[in-house]
Amino acid sequence: MDDNNAKDKKDEKRKRKAKEAHKTNTLSTQPASPSLVVQDKRESDGEHERATKIANVRRSVPVCIQGDCIGEMKRMATGSCDLVLADPPYGINVRRVGWDKPINPNVDAFNFTYEWIDEAVRILKPGGTLLFFSSPCTLYSSYANVHLDKKPDVVHRQTLSWIYSQGGDCRLENMKQYAVRSEVIEWWTKHQITPTFNAHCATERYTEEQKKVALAKGVGRVTEASLDKGRPPRTWCDIPRENSRSTERSYSSIKHPAMKPLDLAERLVGVHSNQGDLVVVPFAGSGTEMISAHKLKRRVVGIEIDPNYVELMKKRFEGHSIECVFRESSAEKEALVE
């Protein structure tokens, strides 16, 4: 190789590195530290061979990857994650956005759903939890649950309801069906191992009025002190939706039509994981679940396919003064794998 040729090659390498550094948009300025296990999937003799590599992701800094969650989860190691908290497109045609087209089970294959579920279950540790949202208006969770139920290594724990008090209405004269003021959360765990369940994170508090009634009913048995401890979690009716004037929607001009409330995400993360656990959010949207997980001191990796929502997320994280590493899928391998 002559000198000019070698110089050209060096220049090219330098430019490529600079371009990738530019693409790897990070709000973090600190060095990375261990450790997220990421898996490299390769084709070998017609079979997929997985080589586990250690990625350099700081425990305290959330990582958001812009890309397809199936492809990204395929690169995470089997049994590496404690909680997968998924708010997928479940086909309710929300605000008629492209990613939430109605899914007709007779026409559309549920392949995408089955595939992300397979990856989510694979990356969970034994005893790990998969939570996913769905709607009472579609058969999404029915199909997803039947698919999960066929797996020998997962257990259905409960179907939860999040009931909100506002929204979901239209004018009575135009109504063709019931108003919808609830969403479904499916709770699955991997293997017959007692899963994390921090009940105190979902404890319900009695109102003063309710305390009076309880004290009057249970004279002698019920004490003010015991009521102050709260009661076990029940169906959640105490968390409102993020409305259009909410602070959470004010950080960016880009709006997300399906932003979940932080309180809801916080409750789910708090109950179903512990500090230091790894939480994967395959459909990160505007970053709600990521923010909650980070605030509760979990390690978190989020994946979002739409670059506009990634922009929105950046602004929202800034608004919350949270550092986050943002990676493009193509740069992620270079950036995350040592």
Ligand X SMILES: C[S@@+](CC[C@H](N)C(=O)[O-])C[C@H]1O[C@@H](n2cnc3c(N)ncnc32)[C@H](O)[C@@H]1O
For ligand X, the binding residues (CB under 6 A) are 68-69, 87, 89, 99, 256, 258-260, 283, 285-286, 288-289, 303-306, 309
How many Å apart are CA 185 and CA 90, to the nearest integer? 12
- In the bound state, the residue with its beta carbon closest to ligand X is 285
Count of beta carbons in the 10 Å neighbourhood of residue 301: 28
Q: 112 or 206: whose CB is closer to ligand X?
A: 112
In the complex, minimum distance from the CB of residue 115 to ligand X, in angstroms, rounded to a whole number: 9
Nearer to ligand X, 58 or 260 (CB): 260
**59 or 181: CB nearest ligand X:** 181
Euclidean distance between CA atoms 73 and 63, whole angstroms? 13
Q: For residue 236, give the DSSP letter.
A: B
The tokens describing 134, both together, are 């769905």
Q: How far is the CB of 71 from ligand X (least distance, A)?
A: 8
Angle at Cα 283 formed by Cα 289 and Cα 57, nearest 5°?
70
128 within 8 A of 189, measured Cβ to Cβ: yes
Tokens of 245: 């004037």
Per the CB < 8 A criterion, the answer to whether 80 and 46 are in contact is: no
Nearer Cβ to ligand X (68/204):
68
Residue 12 or 319: the one with the smaller Cβ distance to ligand X is: 319
Q: How far is the CB of 27 from ligand X (least distance, A)?
A: 18
* Cβ atoms < 10 Å from Cβ of 197: 14
- Closer to ligand X by Cβ: residue 238 or 311: 311
Closest approach of ligand X to the CB of residue 76, in Å: 14
Q: Considering the complex, what minimum distance in angstroms separates the CB of residue 7 from ligand X?
A: 41
How far apart, in Å, are the Cα atoms of 301 and each of 60, 81, 93, 133?
Answer: 11, 10, 26, 18
Q: CB under 8 Å to 180, separation ≥6 — which residues?
A: 135, 136, 137, 168
Task: Please report how close the Cβ of residue 6 comes to ligand X at its closest, in angstroms.
Answer: 41
Can you tell me whether residue 255 is helix, strand or coil? coil
- 32 or 185: whose CB is closer to ligand X? 185
Place of tokens 């026409």: 107
35 preceded by a cis bond (ω within 30 of 0) = yes
Distance separating alpha carbons of residues 207 and 175, to the nearest angstrom = 35
What is the closest distance, in whole angstroms, from the C-beta atom of residue 133 to ligand X in the complex? 7
Q: Which is nearer to ligand X, 145 or 286 (CB)?
A: 286
Query: Cβ 311 to ligand X, closest distance in Å?
Result: 12
Determine contact, residues 109/62, Cβ cutoff 8 Å: no
